[in-house]
Amino acid sequence: MSRKVAVIGGGPAAVSTFLHLTRVRDIASVCFIAPNDIGCAPAFGSGGPMLLCNTSVDVTSLRPDGTSELLSYLAARGWPVHREDFVPRYLVTQYARESYLRHRAAAERDGVKVGHVRGRARSVSGHPGDYRIGLEDGTAVDATDVVFALGGAVPRLPASLRATATAPRLLTSPYPVRRLRAVPADAKVLVLGTKLSAIDAALTLCRAGRRTVMASPSGRLPAVRTRLCRDTAAGLGREWERQLADGADGAEAAAMARPLIRLIRTLSGGEPLRPRLSDHTDAHERLRHETQLAEAGQVPWQDTIAEVIDGLNHALPDQPEPVRRQVLATHRAAMSRYISSIPLDNARRLLSHLDAGLLTVADGCPERIDPHPDGWTVTWPDGRTEHIDWVVCATGFQVPALSVAPDGRLHIGEPAAPGARAAQVTPGLRVHRGPDHAQERMWAVGSAAGTRVPVVNYLRAAAQHARDVGRILDAEATAS
């Protein structure tokens, strides 16, 4: 069987998929369906030299095993880079784009046809080995196999802003950051969110002197780290798998922290963990303390993060949905702060803006955000009102949902018909429409697998998925 593979998506996850597909023996063609140039993604392509990756070079690679390809790529071009470094994001786009072009040329020399349809896929119909992918412009692409490599495309707007999503002084996303630079320098800006995309927005806005307020339900900024590397192999995933063998109530889910704490104490020479964590409740002072801890090398937890992500992604996909929900609910706050912690250089920049009075972090979210001709009136929980010139929504992105209509057609995006149900992603990353359908030849990688895999906003996870899908296809080709 000569496969015609359609890859829906065009960012780094899609490029990683392509690299692994080039090793499959019976691929006749690969067609990307994506609106932009292959290898480009809004977050990775933004910000110039000042916006850094939140992961070290060691785990930022289109291939998950061995030495980081990004490290080799940068070293070959004269960059004085170390595996622990956090590099500017635009370099990841360059690396992904050049990797795609190089492997495309090699695949075409081997007789594989590689195409790119500029558009958005909206549906998949047909059956395994004979799919038809419908695009939003009414055209279609035929494929034997489909890989969903979709990143977050649609901003996740708070309910308070959905009715005013087209207001002229609202940016529904901080990306591309050139839109932030167009905000007047004397503007006062409310950034909704305190996590990674919100920090990108705050750094960009404050750099030009714009007064900025960050607000989120938690009012908490991420923790601070100096590296994120593959430095431990303590078997956390296998240990958690054993712990979850009989299910997970609240106590069992909480107990998953014990082997991790033991590992962190080992890394810190047996010293207690508590002095290496900040107990400040004020976001400004907590950032100051955590920056000091990172500068002093007192953040042993950071050397476990890569294994924690791998371990969660190993142990949880096979668990029933209630177990996955229980574990994630139990540990959500810690995962949000520590897995998504920020590089020390970005923490220093944030701290300088806080100290200068350009940036403030609110204790919680506004109760109301009302538009008016000159901007916005923000009402805070204590009854105080404040005039804001611009609002930037930095509360994350929604990966287009995969749903199945009653006629069996798979829809990409909002359910297109009453009675639609969610498509299922299996532990093996196959996308299933339901029990009435044969085993599908559709797979999800990266963010598209987020209904099954707990940590997907991470290039290493997407590359692991792409590797695994490539291995499945190659094994099938060998068997046939």
> Please, what's the b/e burial string for 91-102 (b: 16 or more CB within 10 A of its CB; e: otherwise)?
bbbbbbbebbee
pLDDT of residue 248: 62
Domain positions in the chain are 3-153+399-479, 155-219+362-393, 224-343
pLDDT of residue 197: 92
* Gap between the Cα atoms of 150 and 152, Å rounded: 7
pLDDT of residue 446: 94
pLDDT of residue 12: 95
Residue 87 reports pLDDT greater than 90: yes
Could you report the per-residue pLDDT of 418-460, keeping only the tens digit for each? 889 999 999 999 999 988 888 999 999 999 999 999 999 899 9
Residue 107 CA, chain-centre distance (Å), reads 28
Same fold, 3-153+399-479 and 155-219+362-393: yes
Could you report the per-residue pLDDT of 229-266, keeping only the tens digit for each? 999 888 999 999 988 886 666 677 888 899 999 999 99
Could you report the per-residue pLDDT of 115-174, keeping only the tens digit for each? 999 999 999 999 999 999 999 999 999 999 999 999 876 788 888 888 888 899 999 999
Residue 387 reports pLDDT greater than 70: yes
Which one has a higher pLDDT value, 282 or 479? 282
Could you report the per-residue pLDDT of 265-297, keeping only the tens digit for each? 999 888 888 888 899 999 999 999 999 999 999
Q: What letter represents residue 461's amino acid?
A: A
Report the percentage of the chain scoring pLDDT > 70.
Answer: 97
pLDDT of residue 436: 81
Contacts with 88 (C-beta within 8 Å, 6 or more apart), sequence order? 47, 48, 49, 50, 51, 52, 53
pLDDT of residue 237: 92
pLDDT of residue 152: 72
Could you report the per-residue pLDDT of 15-68, keeping only the tens digit for each? 999 999 999 989 999 999 999 999 988 767 666 778 899 999 999 999 999 999
Beta strands in 170-227 (DSSP E): 170-171, 188-192, 211-215, 224-225
* Gap between the Cα atoms of 6 and 412, Å rounded: 14
pLDDT of residue 225: 97
pLDDT of residue 416: 60
Cis peptide before 322 (omega within 30 of 0): no
pLDDT of residue 274: 83
Contacts with 364 (C-beta within 8 Å, 6 or more apart), sequence order? 215, 216, 217, 219, 380, 381
pLDDT of residue 146: 98
Decide if 63 contacts 463 (C-beta within 8 A). Answer: yes
Architecture per CATH, domain 3-153+399-479, reads as: 3-Layer(bba) Sandwich (3.50)
Residue 113 reports pLDDT greater than 70: yes
Task: For the domain made up of 155-219+362-393, give the CATH fold.
Answer: FAD/NAD(P)-binding domain (3.50.50)
Alpha helices in 268-364 (DSSP H): 283-295, 305-315, 321-334, 344-355
Could you report the per-residue pLDDT of 325-334, keeping only the tens digit for each? 999 999 998 9
